[in-house]
Structure 1
Amino acid sequence: MNLPDILKHRHTTKAYDKNRKIPAPVVVQLLEALRYSPSSVNSQPWHFFVADNDEGKARIAKATSGPCAFNAPRVMNASHVIVLSARTSLPPEYLETLADQEQADGRYADEEARAQAHKGRAFFVGLHEQAGDVATWSQKQTYIAQGFLLLSAALLGVDATPMEGFDAAILSEELGLKEQGLAPAVIVALGYHSDADFNAKLPKSRLPEKAVFSHL
């Protein structure tokens, strides 16, 4: 594996081959990439909605109407489509759920260790609650998960399209996000590009190293 070659080959897919499906074992790995993505204080402030059939994809595609209609074929023709949503709040009961899971996974040597970890996480959540930006903070963490998904897809030979071009209000209503304490962050289509994908044929273009790096 040569990481630079994979990074240069990865591109935002513009058209999908509707007849090609991602093998189930590969899908499992992609979902694990999302689940194991890092987040601040292991807050995991996200939920992922996965559509792998026409009915599910059509529900998501409702949000690509009007000015975002150009994204509808990408949603409908991809093998799988994932809505990455972020929690709008991190209430005490959710923080307890995180602590319970960490304890079940063996991360605490004893109750004191659990208490200290829980106190630390609650402290940082409290800072964001005071600042009034918990929802924004959660969205930032969710975008980390998107990065992990895109890189994992490229490593596994799967094409992807991250999309912010959708009506958040429509998608929220269709998936009942508000009632679940969630807000949509980004949609990612996954599959294999078709011959109509012009972007697959274009060279990668990025600013030169000297423009983006400063060595201190």
Structure 2
Amino acid sequence: MGVPLRTIGQILPELQRDYPDVTVTKIRYLESEGLVSPVRTDTGYRKYSTTDVDRLRYILRLQRDNYLPLKVIREHLEQMDAGENPAPPVPAAPTAQPTTKSAPVRRVIRMTRKELLRRSGLRESVLVELERQRLVVPRHGTVHFGQEALIVATAAKKLSSYGMDIRHLRAIKQAAEREAGLIEQAVAPYPQQSPSGREATRDVANLVVRAHAALVHSILDQR
């Protein structure tokens, strides 16, 4: 009896043990790019064989350790699929860093809850509700609040004078979550813990935020 096929939800935890950043979105992206081809059931569900999982591991390792673009990985896999024995792809050379100009350093803000209240001007009860709705949260892994929390808290204070409350901020958060999902999908081909992955995430996020702001202003101008 052969090894049973597994769903994407069953293979994901196994892959995440070695590649914590891999997601369902990334696996599906690799499939859409033709790098892996799981079978489909009559109802359309993907089913992965042991060979498929090994192939995914190989692709993820080439991305993580060699920083290779998908184009190079695809060509390498096509040679293997054709029965050839190609040499392992050469790791991508690191991008030269300019020596005459340093990249701008982002100042990290670390505030206590008391400091956040003072700087934003929020009432305690409003901050409690913002925290309950996960609209204002501490920096990951800490009890301190950062720049993003201050921006949201200050905006909440000012928007209240225009009659906008927590309910409206929840709608803004939902839109932000959808945009974050689009960004994650766009940068899925990049190893997320690599310099190129972090740079791509920042770049796409900045472009999405700028496009969003421009579209909002454009829509309002046309009304």
| Structure having the larger proportion of residues in strand | 1
Q: Is the TM-score greater than 0.5?
A: no
TM-score range, shorter chain: under 0.3
Higher RCO by CA contacts (8 Å cutoff, separation 6 or greater): 1
Provide the TM-score with structure 2 as the length reference.
0.21
